[in-house]
A and B are shown apart, each in its own frame.
Chain A
Amino acid sequence: MAKMKMHLLVCGGTGCHASQSEVILSNLKEIVREKGLDNEVQVIMTGCFGFCEKGPIVKVMPDNTFYTEVKPGDAREIVEEHVIKGRKVTRLLYTDPENKKHVSDSKHMGFYKKQLRIALRNCGFIDPENIDEYIARDGYEALGKVLEAKDPQQTIDIIKKSGLRGRGGGGFPTGLKWEITSKSQADQKYVVCNADEGDPGAFMDRSILEGDPHSVIEAMAIAGYAIGATKGLVYIRAEYPLAIERLKIAINQSREYGLLGTDIMGSGFDFDIELRYGAGAFVCGEETALIHSMEGNRGEPTFKPPFPSVSGYLGKPTNVNNVETFANIPVIINKGAEWFAAIGSEKSKGTKVFALAGKINNVGLIEVPMGITLREIIYEIGGGIKDGKKFKAVQTGGPSGGCLTDRHLDTPIDYDNLIAAGSMMGSGGMIVMDEDDCMVSIAKYYLDFTVEESCGKCTPCRIGNKRLYEILEKITQGKGTLEDLDKLKNLSNVIKDASLCGLGQTSPNPVLSTLDNFWDEYIEHVTVKKCRSNQCKALMQYIIDAEQCVGCTACARNCPVNAITGERKLAHLINQDICIKCGACMEKCKFNAISIK
């Protein structure tokens, strides 16, 4: 970015991409050229900025102007006003929801203030399809250092000392994993990057691969050198076409630059990377299942030990790390283990990327230091609950995480605290729920997912989760009994205790955590047959207040099943046996006479 006076960064993440950011990019380029500014202003497409709620995003550097919800037609105004005349396009600036004022640059936006971007350092900053931009940001310096030091153990020691733990969910110490693999003797070892990212709603790995693929490639080569592997494999889900494309471009560029292939940087070290496509099975995020899938076998886990670090892909020692874990590696090597270890909490170092979703104002991708509280994330970065509703719960850790309540809002978030609270870090999904969410239905929703995604190998997961789902379904239908709650508890505990892999061992978490934290709601559902959030249709009743009803017949005329009777100008009545709870009557009533009981 040396000679340019100004840079226009257009978000090329999947969300913005889907909202025509590519047209915005070409419009900006064309207008810049038209104005003869090619030599001063560079327009590039970057990876995700994270603030997906307000995409498509265009950022202007060096002044950090952050334009939101940009349309292709806004390109001319941005160039003519901002670039040429130096006047910011106010209407495209982010509006602070508190004081309704425009925020002139990203540094003053609540969404970014508390973030610390290490893994996402280059996302939204560089052109992911241009290796020079990565190199300009200290790219491949870490690999150079490692190769120059000629001491694989030293590299492992740095990672160990940094305290980095696996970001895919398990939280296993990365340095230790590398060390075990390095000590396994074999003629061939493998470095595998787990880019399967199966948690619905989580997209940090995709964003990193789309926005900064070289950081992963560099880290894989470093891992290869540290453990003694010359082959790297990226297991990536086929539903990530943009990430796949950018990764392919990046791999080819690295080969051209001699940063992959034989005799890298003249060190004598050989390393190359191939892609393997996954079909999108959640269970293939589990490392043994992932390996079997790569081998062309059924994607199902096998019992550990043996761990992949001893016997993995094709029976050879294999080091499997997740995308986000890898993205941290080059920075740790460059800035040192101490620097990294100073960030975060006592046992969880560094940062974590979360995909913030649900009933929250600022939906998007955030990276925060470990140890931050849920309150800071939800209210400061996330901008609070949508429509001023009341916070009820936050579900962390993807479908097999747990639901935490306002009791946990001030708990510092790290691997161990989340587990102690009955949830988990997982790959970093964070779904916020408000007072309108029924926690029994939420548990059922997640179980529906795990029932679908269980591989079927072990009994507790295959049949147990199905039975859990059926009991939850029964409860939401108003047919649950107190005995069912006991069954839920026992079954959940056994599935957790006796399942073969991480999927089954965590799948009952949504049930157990909601039983723990929202016991009252379960009791209401099974005893008084009431859903306080009015989400369980079978437990709802639409009733007409005879005092308010004027007998206009609008409700009766609009009822699709003729459940409403009554004489003109007299109070009407809903026959509960016929009512299908569609809500059409309430919508049509002009006198507020119909309510839900």
Chain B
Amino acid sequence: MEMIKLTIDNKVVEIEKGTTVLKAARKIGIEIPTLCYFELKGMNIENKPGGCRICVVEIAGRKNLAPACATEVMEGMVVNTHNIRVLNARRTVLELMLSDHPTDCLVCAKAGNCELQSMAQQLGVREIPYQGEQSTYRKDTSPSIIRDVDKCIMCRRCEMMCNDIQTVGALSAVNRGFTSVVAPAFEMNLEKSPCTYCGQCVSVCPTGALTEVDHTRNIINALADPTKTVVVQTAPAVRVALGEEFGMEPGQIVTGKMAAALRQLGFKYVFDTDFAADLTIMEEGTELLGRLSKHLAGDTTVKLPILTSCCPGWVNFFEHNFPDMLDIPSTAKSPQQMFGAIAKSYFADKIGVDRKNMVVVSIMPCLAKKYECQRDEFKVDGNPDVDFSLSTRELAHLIKQSNIDFNTLEDEDFDHPLGESTGASVIFGATGGVIEAACRTAYEVFTGKKLAKVDFTELRGLENIRQATIDFDGLPVNIGIAHGLGSARKLLEEVRAGKSKFHAIEIMACPGGCIGGGGQPYHHGDIEILKKRSAAIYQEDAGKPIRKSHENPDIKKLYEEFLGTPCGEKSHHLLHTHYFDKSEEVIIND
């Protein structure tokens, strides 16, 4: 590799050709401030439009200041990152940004996590000398995401995520100059756009321009209502990220503290979505084996590959983009919805509570789940199986509001019966986990043999698209894995073209899977955080006494007592769903 030598702030640095001034500076401990720049290293996610101009530096011989994030290093370059010219420009640029930004920081959803606020602090801005008109735009509220464009600083990270990474194309810049905003096409609301509610825009937004719909108030009200039995379920990826909100190291597993906190908050039954994840494996795994057996028996009408369906962002994506292929995904509901359906039937009956008096709350790393639980097909007589879905961040707020010292809580267990889970369900939280869990069960059911090794490490990792062939005792099963909807699109296009060699494909809308979900604590572009969360997921799995879904005793009991057989009639009614063509729902002329 060709190396380039340059001088930054009188220090010489040698770095590979093609690198930027920003990265060269970082290499020698010079942290040039950035705002629009964003990177998730190793995931091919990078935003460097060079638009905010916070990272400008002086390069000897160049007429204008240059953005460090987008300027390539050149041999002999002499860079100054903090002389008076640079500092003055940087400060003025920030003052300009602040002059067109609401000053309601005290009550902003992003307060404390706002990168603009931090920048103002870092640069020591104490007043805003350039006062003038502020650009305003209507607020847009969807089931999952709120757009408050007045707070947008045009960093375009959301646009990069939505278009380049997710290929959803719901957000892009419209209008010009001072009135330019990031908005759906024809300035429609998100609800009338192809938005999948994956929430990746929210997870990268530096300010409060994109935030989740906050349901914490609804929970407080429900918990205070004596006529309601409030049940909570928590998704696998929450327990490896929640601790970050309380100052813990990323990757700290806080399952026990979380259960304790939820109980202190007043939830009557503290359950685990992992239980429903095991149930998902029973249903989805059975469906996979069903299709596979038919295929092996020579049935040419059977649809393969089967696609996982537990990610609601992904479901929205294929409903919008692949309406011709609605019969390919598994019909199994997501774990959140399976849990709701069981809680409000099997469990409600068990404790003698009318479903109308039961409130099911889910704690999710996800924003699409907020939309999912409002879908009509997941309601019985207008009563939703899951009443409210909270993000990991919202749960943290709820805990803080209730004066609970999370860090000193003693570990507690989930309640029974919907709290028992296996290692297989925990790994739902990371990309590749669902299909690994499915393999653990499908292998044993299909071959009738015990797995020698439970870990399918070939299915793990953070590459955008991965593939592996699993030996089902002589039958090679081809598995594809994609995380990030752009990667998913690639695999789906292959399927559409009839060129896919896979028998099963796992898809997660968010890069990294649920650990990188739109409802997780903000990672601010630090890939190490995602890696640590992922490692924690597999650590939790390894520590579980039972690691295969079909061995979960409470799942077995559920089938014996209530459901009968996987993919049986009752299961079909309660645990499976169908999909809709949403390609026409994007309204262009309203």
Residue ranges of A at the interface with B (Cβ–Cβ < 8 Å): 281, 298, 300, 302-303, 305, 451-467, 470, 487, 490-491, 494, 496-500, 505
Contacts and interface: CB of A to CB of B under 8 A. Distances in A.
Nearest to A299: B176
Interface of B: 49-54, 56, 64-65, 67, 70-72, 85, 88-89, 92-93, 96-97, 99-100, 129-130, 132-133, 153-154, 156, 172-173, 175-180
Given A300-B173, A453-B176, A487 B49 contact: no
Contacts of A457: 49, 51, 154, 156, 173, 180
Interface SS majority for chain B: loop
A298 B176 CA distance: 10
Given A281-B176, A470-B132, A490 B88 contact: yes
A466 B178 contact: yes
A456 B175 contact: yes
A462 B178 contact: yes
A462 B130 CA distance: 13
Contacts of B51: 457-459, 500
A499 B96 contact: no
Q: Identify which of A300, A302, A494 gathers the most chain B CB atoms within 10 Å of its CB.
A: A494
Contacts of B172: 298
B92 A494 contact: yes
A470 B133 CA distance: 8
Contacts of A461: 177
A487 B130 contact: yes
Interface SS majority for chain A: helix
B52 A458 contact: yes
Contacts of B177: 451-456, 461-462, 465-466
Contacts of A464: 92-93, 96
Contact of B49 (A281, A302, A452, A499): A302
Q: Identify which of B153, B173, B176 gathers the most chain A CB atoms within 10 Å of its CB.
A: B176
B17 to A, nearest CB: 13
16 contacts: A298-B173, A300-B173, A451-B178, A456-B176, A458-B51, A459-B153, A464-B96, A465-B177, A466-B100, A466-B177, A466-B178, A470-B133, A497-B56, A497-B65, A498-B53, A498-B89
Contacts, number: 112
A544 B9 CA distance: 66
Given A454-B177, A454-B178, A500-B51, A460 B96 contact: yes
A497 B175 contact: no
B97 A459 contact: yes
B178 A498 contact: no
Contacts of B67: 303, 500
B80 to A, nearest CB: 13
B235 to A, nearest CB: 37
A456 B180 contact: yes
Given A456-B154, A494-B88, 10 more contacts: A298-B172, A305-B72, A456-B179, A460-B92, A462-B178, A467-B130, A494-B92, A497-B65, A498-B65, A500-B51
Contacts of A465: 177-178
B47 to A, nearest CB: 13
Contacts of A305: 72
A461 B50 CA distance: 13
A466 B133 CA distance: 9
Contacts of A455: 176-177, 180
Nearest to A494: B92
B64 A491 contact: no
Contacts of B89: 494, 497-498
Contacts of B93: 459-460, 464, 494, 498
Contacts of A459: 51-54, 93, 96-97, 153-154
A457 to B, nearest CB: 5
B100 A463 contact: yes
Contacts of B154: 456-457, 459, 462
Nearest to B58: A497
Contacts of A505: 64
B588 to A, nearest CB: 17
Given A463-B96, A467-B96, A497 B178 contact: no
Contacts of A453: 176-177
Contact of A491 (B92, B97, B180): B92
